[in-house]
Each structure stands twice: as structure tokens, then as C-alpha cells.
Amino acid sequence: MRHAEAPPSGKPLAGQLRAARALFTARRYSEAAESFLAVAAKARAAHDIDMAAVATGNAGGCEFALHQYQSALQSFLEAHHLTEMAGDASKAAAQEANLASLYSEMGELESAVHWMENSLEHISGLERRQHLPALQIQMAVLRAQQGRMADADRLFRQGIEGADAAGDLELYALGCNRMGEAFLLRGDTERAEPALLEAFRVRKLHGLPLDTSYHRLGRLRLAQGDLVSASNLLDRAVELAVHAKNQMPAWDIYYSRGLVRLRQGRLGAALDDLRIAIRLANVWRWSAPAAETARVSVESKLDPVYSALVEAAGRQYLETGDPALVRETFSAAEENHAASLRALVSTGHAAKDLPPAYWGSLAKLQRAETAALASPSAVSRQTVELARAELARNEAAAAADGENGAVAPQDLPRLAQAALPPDAALFSFHLGDPDSWLWTVDPTGITLYRLPARTEIDAWAERFSHAIRENDPDLTAAGASLFGRLFGQVPSRVTRHRRWFLSLDQALFDVPMAALVEGHGAAQAYLAEHHVIQVIPGARLWLDSVSRRRRRFEPTFLGIGDAIYNTADPRSHAVPSTRPSSLFNLFAADRPGVGAASILPRLVASAPELAACARAWQGRHTLLEGEDASRGRLVEELRHNPAVIHFATHFVTSGQSSSYLTFEGSQTRSQDGAVALIALSLNQAGETETLTAPEITQWPVAAELVTLSGCRSAGSVTLPGAGLLGLTRAWLAAGARSVVGSLWDMPDESGALFTALYRNLSPPRSTDPASALDSAQREMIRAGGWQSQPRYWGAYFVVANE
């Protein structure tokens, strides 16, 4: 964190500011934060904006050190606002650097880079001379996370040399440590080692804190395969972290030591560490900023921790047969599934703030966890459990629509079993290396199965999906092979259940599950022929939704389609745009060579599709076609809470992308996800209106079903933990109970599948969306012709909260 100097006008408070800084240097962060906030309050009362900004920013630094990221974010933003009010762009740059550090820690790379670039641009004068080396090191970390290692190396060396020239040993060691860590996270141990050893040497020689050096050197030795040295180094890192005054131990230290013990085959000891790591990581998760990209990155960052616990506990279960380990692994796997989506749904929308009581209970839990780790006892563990229960109550109190509260992780297995209908089974997947895992839950119990490694499953999943898309003669064999790898160990008492709830992971989201082939010989059949397949974002979110009060909707079908995509369309009254077409931006990312004059073709069959679907619905309907297929008309109709929203439009990807940090074991990388868009009609300026996932997420939607019938409408990046992102997730976050989407490009046709779907969904049959889609798919199979092929009906699936 960047600490600004006290302004001359703040002399009466300068002594208190120095005392607070001394507390920070001594790592007494809670006391320092209180002192800084007291100085800030007095400065505001005296109308001393400069001093208030300095003290508020320093308080944010204390909160950051305590992992109180939401509080730190507010402090940094307030300090930045105050420095801007004072007209001091250079001091504002110091707060921009602090904001960059916070977002980098939470894995929200785009925001971190934005604030850091602003900081380097705005800092000048004395602040530049004092802080430039630190800023260069900080930007080097971000460039490394972006994969720009040449830029990162140059910036690291500039910052380290600047710190050396200034005699700043602490910053010099920090720069070396961060440089070594960056190379280590890229798997380059040869370049990581000298930097990490130099950081350790300087810290040891000059009496500087050594906990992070022991931790990083332990990870280095682990990556090099020296498990004995790694274990000794990480033992020392844990010891120093636990006994650090007034600071919560970092979850990743316990995770690192748990990995070493797992590699050594010390499963019990590994589980001890990984359980602590997950407890601490959840406190860290709860304190994350509410921004959606930050929450998604947190899921990805924590996924390796949950994977390690599942691996350790799963292997121990295979050795001991202890059923408690089955329940523990199921709870761990599902706790991290779609946690960010669960946060969006439970708190209404991303913009809603949690109450002050939530943050108070979070701080109490942090203190309790720290005390329990320093002095383990039955009393300290009870204090932790009470603090965790208080936090859960405050989290539930913030839930939308008076819901009954969130499901506790330890209750997941029991509640999942109780919530299942008698004819249903839940299948939960966790893909990993060297093993993947499957849990089956049905009214008779819960069972754990070891599956092949993720890499093997990925290869078979891609082979099967490709065979379906290309109508390959080998598709039946490929479907049977993948089915065997995923479900072959499961006894018939479970697989014979009519309804299957699937909690998927990573590449499995791209598999047309309904088209998998079960049985042998003449008895072979597609899954859709015997089972209703419903994908759920995660068991915990599904259970939360079971207890949630059902929202009311009107029995109306709302169809949007046959939009105007061309000013030459005789229905168009738009004025041709005088600037490059926005469609160039829509397609620039994935259709090279498409120029500014390019247009989307009219979906000629979409009007007959909407008309046929409306007739099959047999109830009230509203169709938005031509110029009415606009954002304004759509928002207007959503106020009437239609039961079904059906999009027969183009689904495109933007030239822009969202960056997320993903973490696999000891390595990190930036992953870009193309932004999915729903293309509506031209506006009066002759530009295509588009709907984005963040915009949809903010809408209050009470629909039973949203159908996205166009090409690749459910296609999006899939991240560990978070699962499938994009439009499907956005409509669920907005409040839709179910979403139907497609996995690949589909022909522009009149929608026979959807006609059958709505015939089964509407009165008098009134089935649920998953059952209605299953009935429609079976109709297509029996119909013969090209529509009976799985490349047509198999592209569609239902994902539902309930």
C-alpha cells in the first residue's frame, strides 16, 4: 500500500498520524486502522481535506492487510475522491495504485490494470520520485498476470533497481519476491529461484519479515519436486503466519502445505491443512468486493483448494470407506460451484449493498479464526462456529424477497437427498487431475466414484460433441464410450431414475448430455429417451431455490424475433449511420475480414417460428417483431411478468472481452471470455441494439422460462468454480427459473422443437421446462428426417435454478 506524507496543513494531527503508522509497521493493523480513522474524522471536522485523504487511504491499507476487502475498497475510493476534490492528481495516483492492488488480489485483472495505468499516468513530482519503483513492481505483477512476461521482466528490473538506488531494502526484497513469484506462477522455476533466494537473503540479513519468503520458497521446492525441503519451509511459513500479531493467516499458506502433504501421501495431515485453508478462504471470499468479475475470479482462484481437498478426502475414502468423507467431499465440491451466481441471486442484484451488520459479523469471524489457529481448543472452535452462524444469518437477512435463508454447506448432503423427488437422482461432477470424481445422490443415499483424469474426459467430451455436430457415423459409439466413462460405475438402482439433475464442471457444460447413449446392442438409446435431463448451476443454489418463495408471473408468451438488421429492409425507418457500423465491432473478434459495411442477415424463419410457438402456447401472447424487437419494447413487456420469453434472434460475440484470472495448482493465467450479445433491431440511428449479460443481470425477471433459440446462445467461456458464464447465467441471475439455450450453430428454421416444447409446457399439460424439452426431443427422435438427428435436438438443454 502507498502511504502518503502528511500535508503541511495537517501539523496538529501529524503526531497521531505518525503513531498510527508505527502501529501499521508493527503489523498491529486493527489498532492502526482505528487510529487512522480517528485522524480522518478529526481532519474532516477541521475541513482539512488533504489530511482526511491521507488518513482514510492509510486506513484502507490496514483493512487490506486484514483481508477486509470491501471496507478497504470503500476507504480507497473515498481517499481517491478526497484527493480529487483537493485537485491533487499526483496524490490521487497513490490511491489509484492502492485500488489496483486490491483488485489484483481479488483477481479482477481489467480493473486492476485500469487503475494502475491511471496511477502511472498521473503521478508526478515528489510522489513520483518516492513511489515510482513500487508502482513499476506493481505494474510488473499485472503484466505477468496478463502473460506479457517481457514487459513484466523489464518493469520488475526497473523497480528493483530503483528501490536499490533509494536504499529501500524492504521494497527491494518485495520486488525480488514478486518477480520470483511471477515466474513461478508461469512454471519457470529456473528464473524464479534466484529472485526468491535474493529476497530471502536480504530479509534475513536485515531482520525483515520472512513469512512470505518461506512460503514462496516452499512453493518453489514443491514445483521442483523437493518435497522434504518444501515441507520444512512451509512448516516455518505456517508458524510465522499463525503467530503474526493481529493479522489473519493467509489461506494459501495452508493450501501450499496441504499440497506438499498430499504429494507425500500423508492424507490425514493434508486434510488437516486443506480444511483450515478452506475455512480461511471462505472468510476471504465473503470479504471480496461485490463486483461480478471479482467474485468469478475468486471462485477460480479457490477452485484448486477445493480440488485438493476433494482429492485428499476422496483418496482417503477409497482407503478407509468412511462415509463421512463422501459427505465432506460433496459439500466441498458444491460449495464452490457457482458461488458468484449464488451471491447474485441471494442478494437480488450486484448493485445491492450488504448491511453494516454483515461486515461486523465478518470481522468477528476473522478474529475468531485467527484466535482458533493460534490457540486451538474446543472453546475457540465453538467461538468460530458461533461467528460463522452469525455471518450466515446476516447474509440471509440481505436475501431478496424475504427468502428463508441460504443453505449451510454442512447440510448439503442431507438436504439434497431430502429435496429430491422419489423418481430423481442428482449427479455432481468434479473434474481434476490426476482424478475426477462423481457423487450420486438419490433417496437411498449418497455415493462417491473415482473417474478418469480431466484431460481424458475432456478429450472424450470433445470427440463426442464433434461427432454430433458433424453427424459422424461414429457418434453412437462415441456417445456410449463417454457415457461409460461418466456413469459406467453407477448401479442401475440410481441410473433408472426418470429425472436426472446434473451439476456439471468445466468441459462437461459443452457436452450434449441428452444425446449420450446408454445400454448395449439393440437396447441402446439416447438419454433423452428414458430420462429428463436438467442442468443445475450447483446443488447449493438449487437447494436455496427450493426454499425460496415462488414468484408470480402472468401466463403470457413473449416472443422477440424477425428483427430488422439492415436499413435496406423495407420495414426499416432507421437512418443509415454515418460512422462505421457497430456490427463490425460485433464480429471483429471471431470473423476476420468482415468490414464496416457488413450486416446481419434477416432471420426469415423467425417470424413463422414465433407464430407457431405462440399457437402452441394456447394462451395470451405478445410478439415483438420488426422495429418492435427493440430494447425499449422488451423492457416495457417485462414489467408484465410474462411466463415465457422466447428470443428468435441473432446471438453474436463482441469484439470486446472480459478478462478473468484462472488458477490451476501453482500456475495462474489470464483468460479472456468473449462477451455474448443478443442482437435486436436497428435503432433510429441505423445501429444494431444489443443486450449484454451485465445489463440483463440487473433486470428483475420472474419468467418460468427464457428460451434462446439462436446459434450458440448458451456458448460462453467456462471457468473453474464459476461454471458457464454468458447469457444463460445472466438470465438466471435476473430471476428466471429456467433457461433453454443451444451449444452450437443451428439452421434458420420454423422451430418444430419449440412448438413441441410449448405444447407440453402450456395448459392443460403444464409440465416443467425440463420435462417439456424432453418430450419435445423425443417427438423429434420419433419424427424421422433431419430433425430426428441429435445434431438438431441435442444442441438444446435446460439449465435451471429450481
Please name the helix (run of DSSP H) or strand (run of DSSP E) that holds residue 371, with its range, or none: helix 356-374
Give the distance from CA 637 to its chain's centroid: 31
pLDDT in tens, 567-606: 777 777 766 654 443 333 333 333 333 333 346 788 888 8
Cell of 629: 424487437
The separation between the first and the last C-alpha atoms of the chain, rounded to the nearest angstrom, is: 44
User: What's the CA gap between 92 and 110, in Å, rounded?
Assistant: 19
Cell of 510: 459443452
pLDDT of residue 594: 30
User: What's the CA gap between 159 and 170, in Å, rounded?
Assistant: 12
pLDDT of residue 111: 81
- Positions of CATH 3.30.420 in the chain: 410-545
CATH superfamily of the domain spanning 11-123:
Tetratricopeptide repeat domain (1.25.40.10)
pLDDT of residue 765: 67
Confidence of residue 288 (pLDDT cuts 50, 70, 90): low
Average pLDDT, the chain: 82
CA-CA distances (angstroms) from residue 376 to 113, 304, 383, 594? 40, 26, 11, 64
- Positions of CATH 1.25.40.10 in the chain: 11-123
Architecture of domain 550-800: 3-Layer(aba) Sandwich (3.40)
Q: Are 654 and 715 in contact (CB under 8 A)?
A: no
Confidence of residue 439 (pLDDT cuts 50, 70, 90): very high
The mean-pLDDT minimum among 64-78, 86-100, 530-544, 565-579 falls in 565-579
- Is the pLDDT at 671 greater than 50, yes or no? no
pLDDT of residue 85: 87
> 138: burial class by Cβ within 10 Å (0-12, 13-18, 19+)?
buried
Please name the helix (run of DSSP H) or strand (run of DSSP E) that holds residue 586, with its range, or none: helix 582-587
CA-CA distances (angstroms) from residue 228 to 24, 219, 222, 312, 753? 35, 12, 9, 19, 60
Confidence of residue 352 (pLDDT cuts 50, 70, 90): very low
The mean-pLDDT minimum among 157-166, 177-186, 312-321, 597-606 falls in 597-606
List the one residue out of 598, 605, 433 whose CA is nearest residue 507.
Answer: 433
CB atoms within 10 A of CB 680: 27
User: What's the CA gap between 436 and 635, in Å, rounded?
Assistant: 43
User: What's the CA gap between 292 and 299, in Å, rounded?
Assistant: 11
- For the domain made up of 410-545, the CATH class stated in words is alpha beta
User: What's the CA gap between 50 and 92, in Å, rounded?
Assistant: 11
Alpha helices by DSSP H, 375-519: 378-397, 412-419, 454-469, 475-487, 492-495
- Those residues with Cβ within 8 angstroms of residue 746's Cβ, 6 or more apart along the chain or in another chain: 709, 710, 711, 792, 795
Q: Secondary structure of 266-310 in the HEC alphabet? A: CHHHHHHHHHHHHHHHHHHHHCCCCCHHHHHHHHHHHHHHHHHHH
R_g over Cα of the chain: 28
- 3-class DSSP state for residue 439? strand
Quick check: bond before 434 cis, omega within 30?
A: yes
User: What's the CA gap between 246 and 261, in Å, rounded?
Assistant: 28
Give the distance from CA 598 to its chain's centroid: 34
- Concatenating the DSSP letter of every residue in 762-780 gives STTT---HHHHHHHHHHHH
CB atoms within 10 A of CB 399: 17
HSE value, Cβ hemisphere, 13 Å, CA-based, for 474: 9
- Is the pLDDT at 92 greater than 80, yes or no? yes
pLDDT of residue 58: 92
93 φ, ψ (degrees, to nearest 5) = -65, -35
- Concatenating the DSSP letter of every residue in 685-718 gives TS-EEEEEHHHHHTS----SEEEE-STTTT---E
Confidence of residue 346 (pLDDT cuts 50, 70, 90): low
The mean-pLDDT minimum among 12-26, 200-214, 624-638 falls in 12-26
- Positions of CATH 3.40.50 in the chain: 550-800
pLDDT of residue 310: 95
- Is the pLDDT at 552 greater than 90, yes or no? no
User: What's the CA gap between 343 and 733, in Å, rounded?
Assistant: 9
User: What's the CA gap between 658 and 673, in Å, rounded?
Assistant: 5
Quote the pTM value.
0.81
User: What's the CA gap between 281 and 134, in Å, rounded?
Assistant: 27
- 3-class DSSP state for residue 496? coil
- Is the pLDDT at 313 greater than 90, yes or no? yes
- Those residues with Cβ within 8 angstroms of residue 667's Cβ, 6 or more apart along the chain or in another chain: 185, 186, 187
Which range of 204-218, 230-244, 345-359, 716-730 scores highest in mean pLDDT? It is 204-218
Instruction: Tell me which amino acid residue 222 is.
Output: L
Average pLDDT value for residue range 719-736: 71
Average pLDDT value for residue range 369-379: 64
pLDDT of residue 4: 54
Q: Are 686 and 597 in contact (CB under 8 A)?
A: no
Count helices and strands (H / E) in the chain. 32, 18
- Is the pLDDT at 29 greater than 50, yes or no? yes
User: What's the CA gap between 100 and 95, in Å, rounded?
Assistant: 9
